[in-house]
Structure 1
C-alpha cells in the first residue's frame, strides 16, 4: 500500500533547502547592489570623465559620479557624515583630502595602494593617495622674456619693481590658494604677507583662472604668470610649438616650486569597500597614469610612466618638502588675501 506523505511533512524536509536558497538570493541581491559605486569628484568632468568611463567599461561596475569643486565636495561630505552615499572621493587638491582625513571620514588604504606613490605625494597617515601631480611654475612670454637671463631664481624675487605691470595671477584660484597655504605653513605668516604685499605693489593683472593667465601671457598681455604647469602644456599640445608661452620650473626647494597633487580616498562608512579599492587601484594603474600624462598633461606619480611632451622628470623638480595633507587652512589663506586687499 502506498504511504501517504502530508504536504506539511514535505515542507519540513524542504525547509533547509529553501532557507539556503533564500540566503543565496539575498547574497546575490546584495552583491548586485554593491556593484553601484558612488564617486564624489572634485576633478572637473571634462578632465576625468573619459577615464572613469574607461574604468566602467573594464570593470563592469555601475558608477555614479557627483561633480563639484573640491572644497564643495569636502563640505558636502562633512555635512553628510556617515549618512553619505559616497564610496570614493577623487579631489583636485590635497587640502580638501586633509580636511576629510582629519574629520575621520577617510579610511586607511591598503599598503599595496599606498606603496605605489612616494611619501611626499600621499597622506602621512595612509588615508588618501595622490593620483597625479601639478607643479607650480612661472609661465613666460617667449618673445618678451629670456628665461636664462631674466627670470629670477625664486618666486620671492617677483616683488622686485622691474616686474611692475608684468605679472598675471589668479588669487581666487584653488591651486594658487593651496600654494599660498603651503607658503604660510612652511615660511610663516609674516613672510607670506610680505610677499603678497610686494606682488600687489607691482600692480599685477588679475585673472579668473590659470587658462586665462597662460593665454594672456602667450598674447603678450603680461610677460609672466603664476600657474600650474599643465595649462601651458595643453596649449602647446593643441596649438603646436609656435605657441607663445612656456613653463619655467624654479626648483631649489623654493615656494614657487611646490608640487600639488590630485588624489583619492575611500569613505570610512562605505559598504562597498571592494569596488572602492578597485577604483583607487585603477587610478594608479599604468592605463590611468598614462591618461594623466598624455591627456591632462599632469605628472604621473607611479614609477614606470613618463610625463608627456617635453616635461622634465618629476624627480628633477626639487620642490619644497611640504606635508600636502596639512594644507587644510584654506580659510586662513582667504583671510590673509582679504587683509592685504587682494580679495574683497
Structure 2
C-alpha cells in the first residue's frame, strides 16, 4: 500500500515546499484516496533508494536548463534512468510538459507503477515544446503533451502537431467550456492572470480591475512582461471580449505609461522586480505566483483576484493532448482519462497550484486561502481563435 508520507517525502526530496501547513495535509488525504482506488504501489524515491528495474521503472526524467530557454540542455534527477529524447522507446510513455517536473513526478510515478509502464518526462517551455515537435516530426518520441495556455494548444492544432482523441471517461469530468470542440485537447486545471503586489507598500483594497491599472495613480509603479509573452496575448483576448478593441488599446497604452521599468521577459522577472522594490504591482499567472511562493515562503508579494464586478478575472488552462506522431496512443489515452478523474484532478491541481476543472473536485488549501474568485465566462478556445486579433491590437497600442 502506498503511504502518503512516502510521496510527500519524495516531493520534499525534490524541494517542493509550501508555507501553508494545511496544504500538505490536503495533498496527503488526496493521495490516500487515490491509492485506495488504484491499488498502486510506490517505493521510496530518496537518493539512497535502489533504482527500479527497467520493466518496473516508475519515471525517468529530463529537464530543460534553469532558465527554460535551452531545450537541448537536459539534466537527470536522482535515480533517473534517462531515455532517448530523439526516438520512441517501446512500452515507454513519453510526456512533454511545461509543468514543474518535481510537482508531476509523485502523481505520474503512482500511475506508472499501477500500469507497469515507465514514464519519461521532458520539461520545457510551452513554445519550446512546439518547436521540439516540429523539429522531430514523425520521429518524435512524445506521446502526451501536458502544458499551459489554450493559445498554445490552438497553435499546435494549426500547425498539425496534434491528433484528435476520444476520451469519454475524461470528458465526463471536464465541462464543455474547457474542451476543444474538435477533440484535440482537454483541460485538466485552470489558473488566473491576475494582480500581484508588494504588501509592504500596497493593500489589497487598492487594486480593483485591469483597466484601473491604466490610471495615472499607478504611474511608475507597474511592472509587466512583454507583449510577445503568450499569457499576455490571452489576457488581451479576454479584455477585447469584455471591453472592446478600442477601450482595450486605451488600457494597454495606460499600462505602458505607468511602467516603472521596461517590459520584462516573463512572469518570473515581474515577481523578482516586485520583490526587489523596482515596482509595486504587476500581472502574472496565479500558478506562477504559487510556484514562486513555494520557493520564497517569506516573500512580501501577495496575490489579488482582480476584476471582481468588472467581468471577472481572466482564466486559462493547463491541458493535455496527444501529438500527431505519438507511438503509444492507447497508453496516452489511458493516462489522460486517469488524470481527468476527480481525485487525480484534485491532486494534480494541488501539485501545480491550479484549480481543478471538475466542479466536484476540491481546490487546494493554498488557493482557497487566496479568497473568493470571480471568473470571466469566456470560452478558453477563444484564446487561440482570437490570438491574431489580440496581437494586432497590442501592436497598435505599442505593447509588443
Q: Pick the TM interval, shorter chain.
A: 0.7 to 0.9
The Cα offsets for residues 56-92 of structure 1, whole Å up to 9 and x where unpaired, read as: 3333213344443323333554576666543322122
Q: Do structure 1's residue 279 and structure 2's residue 348 form an aligned pair?
A: no
Root-mean-square deviation (CA, aligned residues, Å) is 3.3
Tell me the equivalent position of 1:40. 96
The Cα offsets for residues 270-299 of structure 1, whole Å up to 9 and x where unpaired, read as: 453320112112322456434434333222
2:101 and 2:391 mapped to 1: Cα distance?
26
Tell me the equivalent position of 2:217. 162
1:107 to 160, 164, 187: 164
Tell me the equivalent position of 2:363. 307
Matches within 5 A, 1:10-159: 35-45=91-101, 47-77=103-133, 84-102=140-158, 105-148=162-205, 150-152=206-208, 154-159=209-214
Distance apart, 1:255 and its partner CA: 6.5
Tell me the equivalent position of 1:18. none
2:302 and 2:337 mapped to 1: Cα distance?
33
Q: Which ranges of structure 2 fall in alignment gaps of 5 or more residues?
A: 1-88
Tell me the equivalent position of 1:223. 280
Is contact 2:250–2:397 with CA below 8 Å preserved after alignment? no
The Cα offsets for residues 163-193 of structure 1, whole Å up to 9 and x where unpaired, read as: 0011111124332232123334554433332
1:202 to 258, 262, 272: 258
Matches within 5 A, 1:228-267: 228-240=285-297, 243-252=299-308, 254=310, 257-267=313-323
Is contact 2:197–2:302 with CA below 8 Å preserved after alignment? yes
Residue 314 to residue 246, structure 1, CA distance change in 2 (3 Å): closer
Residue 315 to residue 277, structure 1, CA distance change in 2 (3 Å): farther
Is contact 2:185–2:321 with CA below 8 Å preserved after alignment? yes
Larger displacement relative to structure 2 (77-86 or 246-255):
77-86
Higher relative contact order (CA 8 A, sep 6+): 1
Q: TM-score, normalised by structure 1?
A: 0.75
Residue 279 to residue 183, structure 1, CA distance change in 2 (3 Å): same
What secondary structure sits across from 2:201 in the alignment? coil
Tell me the equivalent position of 2:56. none
Larger displacement relative to structure 2 (154-163 or 200-209):
200-209
Distance apart, 1:212 and its partner CA: 3.2
The Cα offsets for residues 314-343 of structure 1, whole Å up to 9 and x where unpaired, read as: 995222222222322555545554444443
1:297 to 344, 353, 357: 353
The Cα offsets for residues 134-171 of structure 1, whole Å up to 9 and x where unpaired, read as: 112111222322222x222x211111100001111112
1:89 and 1:232 mapped to 2: Cα distance?
23
1:286 and 1:248 mapped to 2: Cα distance?
27
Larger displacement relative to structure 2 (66-75 or 90-99):
66-75
Residue 312 to residue 244, structure 1, CA distance change in 2 (3 Å): same
Is contact 2:191–2:315 with CA below 8 Å preserved after alignment? yes
Q: Which has the higher helix share?
A: 1
Tell me the equivalent position of 2:79. none
Q: Do structure 1's residue 327 and structure 2's residue 383 form an aligned pair?
A: yes
Residue 115 to residue 182, structure 1, CA distance change in 2 (3 Å): same
What secondary structure sits across from 1:311 in the alignment? helix
Residue 85 to residue 41, structure 1, CA distance change in 2 (3 Å): same
Distance apart, 1:50 and its partner CA: 4.9
Q: Do structure 1's residue 177 and structure 2's residue 219 form an aligned pair?
A: no
